[in-house]
A and B are shown apart, each in its own frame.
Chain A
Amino acid sequence: MIGARRNTRLWGVAALLCLMTALLWKPSPGAAEPAKTLIEIQRPGPGETRRIEVPANATLKLLFDANKAELIVETKDLVIWFPDDDALIVLQDLLLRSDLSTVDFVIDGETLHAGDLVDRLLPAGATGGGDPVNQIEPAAGGETGGGNSLPNLSDLRHTGRDLLFPLEIERKGHPLYSYLLFAGASRDERDERARFKSAVKAYVSQVRTTEALQKSGAAPASINIFYAPLKEIFEDTSPASMRLHFAQRSADEQIEILTRLYDHARAEVLMGQLRLRGNGPFIVSVLRPLSDGAVDQDEAFLVQDLSSVPPKLVGLWIDEFKRQVVQEATDSPEHLRRFALTLRTKISVLAEGFAITKSAVAEMFEAPKEEDGE
């Protein structure tokens, strides 16, 4: 009986030792480690977006001047952005990987573990999928790498427009992303169409292009990028060349193209990310690209519903939007002006009804006169 109990105890100790060994055992780095896959990353062409799926045990060798690039931590991707020509390298789903420690970067001959790099870029306590945008100062080129910063809206000074072509993702590095969204007019709804056309007209004529602002020295971090989704102008052409083609057109032609080829489907998808109801037009602003996913309830966003604004006043509301964005950033209240604009819109809406009534009454009195004349 005593021997049987001792045997059981021995087996128990042995099982415990096995379990502890299994838990503590780690493959030693060296001979047992699988060979690293070397991936050489060239700089993409201007405006080009290159997506790379990084395998486990990979060494990513950057074959470009790292001083000219910025690293941005997106929800699940690590993005290398070239502000000069807006080229992007997207390292897809890199931040979701459990084997991130097996990936290395070689930057200017220096080897950095991907895990260390990401830890330095992410703010303390941030999880991979949580924060909207974590804009990162250049970590490459030997600069102090810990320069991580949350979106700094106090730098926001301008609103610049840009187009969003199908399957294209938004440019990185902007503190605020705004969109002109219109899901399409209801059948025979002439007013909705007129309102949208006015919005497009104001969008083209009152908002400068992001490219023009950047050429004039505005940093991307100071620009609220204002997108309008557009269908492909030509097939089999890159977004960069379509953008160039669009920019070369006159303002009237741009308005015509935008009205004709506006991507209502994409607009509807983007509106869905904010759970907006109705056709719009809406102007929405969020702190991160809307294409990244639905906006959570605790995320900050701004919506301007233009669906009840008379077409001729849409331009004023776009102006107001531009002001409001800077005002939000600088905390300078302009409530009186906003009240005046709301009042102005109400007067216009009511006066329209007044005019209809007036013309109806006038017709009532004019009709007998015509009959008398006959």
Chain B
Amino acid sequence: MKWSLDLGISVVLTVIVWSGFYFTFPNEPLGAVETVFVLVVFYALVKLVRLAKKHLASSEKANLE
């Protein structure tokens, strides 16, 4: 269920960014497409971080062996 955790983290980050923009520019909040775009970007970033961590862990394990 890691994908749901990643998605959850991405959604939380998107909500934070959306609110930040909303309070800074209340006349032009992020639209639906823009919000989805931000969500996709965050999801990709979270996935990348997870992959990087996995890669680091496996290389450390290989070093130890």
Which residues in A have some Cβ–Cβ distance to B below 8 Å? 312-313, 315-316, 337, 340-341, 344, 347-348, 350-352, 354-355, 358
Q: Which residues of A have CB within 8 Å of B37?
A: 347, 350-351, 354-355
For B40, the chain A residues whose CB sits under 8 A away are 354
Q: Is the CB of A315 within 8 A of B28?
A: yes
Per the bound structure, the CA–CA distance linking A354 and B33 in Å amounts to 8
The A-contacting residues of B in range 7-26, CB under 8 angstroms, are 20-21, 24-25
Q: In the complex, what residue of chain B is closest to A347 when comparing beta carbons?
A: B34
Measured between beta carbons, the chain A residues less than 8 angstroms from B33 are 351-352, 354-355, 358
- Residues on B close to A: CB < 8 A? 20-21, 24-25, 27-28, 30-31, 33-34, 36-38, 40
Q: Give the secondary structure class of A's interface.
A: helix
In the complex, the answer to whether B24 meets A312 with C-beta atoms within 8 Å is no
| Contact sample, A vs B, 23 pairs, CB 8 Å cutoff | A313-B28, A315-B27, A315-B28, A316-B25, A316-B28, A340-B24, A340-B25, A344-B21, A344-B24, A344-B28, A344-B30, A347-B34, A347-B37, A348-B34, A350-B37, A351-B31, A351-B33, A351-B34, A351-B38, A352-B33, A354-B33, A354-B40, A355-B37
Cβ-defined contact, B28 with A347, below 8 A = no
Contact pick for B30, options A315, A316, A347, A354, CB 8 Å = A347
| Complex alpha-carbon distance, A267 and B30, angstroms | 33
Shortest CB–CB separation between residue A309 and chain B, in angstroms? 11
